[in-house]
Structure 1
Amino acid sequence: MSVEHQPLRASDRDRDEVLVRLHTAYAEGRLSEPELDERIDLTLAARTHDDLGRVSADLPGPRPAPGSPSGRLQVAYKDTIARGGRWRVPDTFTSVVYKGRMLLDLRIAELTETVTTLRVVAYKSTVEIVVPAGVRVETAGTGVSLDAHDAPAGAPVVRVQGLAYKGHIEAKGTREYSAV
């Protein structure tokens, strides 16, 4: 076979992008749990772009908004990841964690809008979200919990839309969080 006819090799990043598409499709109800598990195995074993294309050919591709700023997505694959300190949180932020752990600390982050939506997928993972005092938290989804958190009327809102499969997503107020 000549070089020009060989399929292009897939990178770890290429596989990660397909994993995000698969988990998003699962969260949207496009894939069943057995289909997700099967496709994850195929993605992790994929050697070429053709292999990856076969795994995700029937799913919609990523739909980034034109001119959307970077920093709207964070992925942890079999790893522990933390996001905290001073940073600007976009109006919508997505976290996908696969067999890992994530801390999303908003205590000194700058919320850019009055309503911030956090879309979180935790596949066999734990995601912990720490919200500062004075911010109202709303949760929706499966496997999402919220510790009691008081906020005044008209306070900024953080909406946690989550899907935890064999995992857990927990939003906590500053009072409930003791780690430094």
Structure 2
Amino acid sequence: MSVERHSQAVRASDRDRDEVLVRLHTAFAEGRLSEAELDERIDVTLAARTHGQLRAVAADLPATGAPRVAPEGSDRAPAGRFQLAYKGSVKRAGRWRLPERFTVAVYKGTGLLDLRAAELDGQVTTLRVLAYKSTVEIIVPPGIRVETDGVGVSAEVHGVPPADAPVVHIRGYAYKGAIEAKDRIRRA
């Protein structure tokens, strides 16, 4: 048996499957995979028994840590549009700038996005949130219109915002977790 065929047949561990799941969720958060593609590939990953099967699942995706191509006419890609937590947490609070498109991916951890003092770059802000076995909480200030879609996304926002209110559109996918948008923090 050749070395390459042997490495294809080596049994995959839970950690190997977890690494591929993080890669898939990152690709989803970057817009490389649709929700349907992500669901399909998660099923294949969880059923994979060998390294060869795992490699096939993500063969068309960039390698983890691959350099990103900057848009034409710029010296570098824009910063501050993506946050990832792997078995940890993401927290943004206080005064910070929120770009029109912002992505958060949390794998087996927690996330808090407190927008009450955030400076919104546009009238419509799109938050793409992925919570894999995680909870991501989004706190919005009064007077913001919140729109949600996806799986495992809920919103509890009180009052009626004015017609010209800024919009925060939350597109989310929670697998064995939750994405919660609210305008009040519950005290324990």
Closer, same or farther in 2 for the Cα pair 1:55/1:78, shift >3 Å?
same
Closer, same or farther in 2 for the Cα pair 1:72/1:40, shift >3 Å?
farther
Indicate conservation of the 8 Å contact 1:143/1:164, yes or no: yes
Percent identical residues: 52
Indicate conservation of the 8 Å contact 2:110/2:135, yes or no: yes
One-letter amino acid of the structure 2 residue matched with residue 76 of structure 1: A
Residue segments in structure 1 that go unaligned for 5+ positions in a row: 1-13, 47-51
Closer, same or farther in 2 for the Cα pair 1:122/1:170, shift >3 Å?
same
TM-score of the pair, normalised by structure 1: 0.72
Alignment of 1:79-118 (within 5 A): 79-118=88-127
Alignment of 1:160-171 (within 5 A): 160-171=170-181
* Whole-Å separation in 1 of the counterparts to 2:107 and 2:177: 10
Following superposition, the deviation at residue 81 of structure 1 comes to 2.1
- Structure 2 equivalent of residue 140 of structure 1: 149
Indicate conservation of the 8 Å contact 1:104/1:130, yes or no: yes
* Whole-Å separation in 2 of the counterparts to 1:164 and 1:94: 14
TM-score of the pair, normalised by structure 2: 0.69
Closer, same or farther in 2 for the Cα pair 1:31/1:119, shift >3 Å?
closer
Following superposition, the deviation at residue 31 of structure 1 comes to 3.5
* Whole-Å separation in 1 of the counterparts to 2:111 and 2:47: 23
Choose from 77, 84, 90 the match for 2:86. Answer: 77
- Structure 2 equivalent of residue 56 of structure 1: 58
- Structure 2 equivalent of residue 156 of structure 1: 166
The DSSP-based 3-state class of the residue aligned with 2:37 is: coil
* Whole-Å separation in 1 of the counterparts to 2:28 and 2:80: 20
The DSSP-based 3-state class of the residue aligned with 1:29 is: helix
Indicate conservation of the 8 Å contact 2:89/2:109, yes or no: yes
Residue segments in structure 2 that go unaligned for 5+ positions in a row: 1-18
Please list every run of at least 4 consecutive aligned residues from structure 1 whose deviation after the TM superposition is greater than 4 angstroms: 14-19, 22-27, 52-55, 60-65
One-letter amino acid of the structure 1 residue matched with residue 108 of structure 2: K
* Whole-Å separation in 1 of the counterparts to 2:69 and 2:143: 31
Indicate conservation of the 8 Å contact 2:133/2:176, yes or no: yes
- Structure 2 equivalent of residue 32 of structure 1: 39
